[in-house]
Amino acid sequence: MRTIDQIRANKLPSNMMQFAAKGALSVPPDENIEILVYLAKHNKIFGDLARMTLAGWDEKASLAAASNPKTAREVLDYLVAPENLRPALLPALLENPSVADSELAKFAISASPESIAAMLQSPRVRASLGVLDVLRSNIYLKADQSSTIAGLLNSSRAEPVPVPDELTQPQVEEAIAVQAPEPAQEPAPAASDDGGEVPDEVVSAYLAEHATEIAADQDKPFQPVGGIVDLLGTDYFPVSENKPMTEIAGGEERPSADAASAVPARPKPAAGPPPGQRDNTVQKINRLDVKGRIQLAMKGNKEERSILIRDGTKVVALAVLDAPKLSDGEVEKFALQKNVLEAVLRQIPLKRRFMKNYIVVRNLVSNPRTPLDLGLGLMKHLLTQDLKNISANKEISETVRKLALKMYKQKLDAAAKK
């Protein structure tokens, strides 16, 4: 077992842990720095000592780790974090393919003037639309640097970039930048449930495209994000001795502590409703397997889509966004919902039609559940008043609020100079 694994398992004695925090263990250089980063981030007793050791770590060894694609991801993320960065390491970190674009984007938000200059010299940064989009919001950016970034973005966006079906985190951010043009003030014409039948070929194409995911999730029942009580409301479930209420925690439904033994296991969906009775929408959905729910998501009506967008099975929820009858008004509501999967919020900006609707963009930035990198990337599209409103919205991340306030003041200053 490697020493780092022993440390993670708390199997080293205290005196050895102190040696580890000083970088004094007889282990390979790459493992030594991995140990120090682990202690700095996760150990309350020796963390401060490990951080001090890292701050004065041999520059040659640090540079070797920063430039090596095989260096542990946790180490690279630590080295590129603004509070830990050593300027001499930045060029190597910028070109290391194992440093995620998302980490570079976080660094770009508050990069110093010297770091901005280094980033604009980096071939990788100059080719990364997601990082450039965030960098141009940096408060330390000079006029000539802002012009350089604008030129790089314009030249890159002149050529369409294909978006792969399965995206990694860095690819998502770059795809957002490519696929999301300046939103128009007027939304595109809305789709309608009266637009005729959806061809079976559309559904078949989606099923074929996502066959692997469907096969993996085929036995998953309908489980709405936030739980069934949140979906239907407490009035739907009368409280009585025979029907105890349920608690919702972590996006899942579970029996309350007092009634746990009284609640039976969830039965498998039945083949159909009892004779003489008719299913409501939720009961209808609850009887369907994953393929059935996908078909309903793409061919069903507005009410069915509003429920299926909250399906905890990602491949079903995303099928709603591919529904031919989906209207812009529905997407505006989805963009503001807190009880949908993060994957849904990430998928919306990848569709050009949705990004032409200003309300969709504004709602995504205003949604506390929207991932930080996505909200920051879309904020540049907002109008002055909306930036002001977001800067005062305490439900949203502090990072988003601060950037919104900064951009709001910049727009006011720009307007005053005209």
Q: What's the pLDDT tens digit per position in 190-234?
A: 445 555 678 888 888 889 888 888 998 888 898 888 765 455 554
pLDDT at 246 over 70: no
Rounded CA separation 406/137 (Å): 9
* H-helix or E-strand spanning residue 253: strand 252-255
Residues in CB range of 295: below 8 A, 6 or more apart: 203
Q: What's the pLDDT tens digit per position in 338-360?
A: 899 999 999 998 888 888 889 99
pLDDT at 252 over 60: no
Rounded CA separation 295/319 (Å): 8
Contact 93, 80 (CB under 8 A): yes
Q: What's the pLDDT tens digit per position in 391-404?
A: 998 888 888 889 88
Give how far Cα 304 sits from Cα of 220, 326, 409, Å: 18, 11, 43
Rounded to an integer, the average pLDDT of 113-124 is 92
**Confidence (pTM):** 0.49
* Per-residue tokens: 31: 């493992």
pLDDT at 275 (0 to 100): 56
* Per-residue tokens: 8: 């993670």
Terminal CA-CA length for the chain: 66
Q: What's the pLDDT tens digit per position in 177-201?
A: 433 434 333 334 444 555 567 888 8
pLDDT at 257 over 50: no
Rounded CA separation 141/120 (Å): 11
Best CA proximity match to 117, nearest among 128, 108, 106:
108
Q: What's the pLDDT tens digit per position in 162-179?
A: 433 333 444 434 434 433
* Per-residue tokens: 160: 């369409």
* Gyration radius of the chain over CA positions: 26
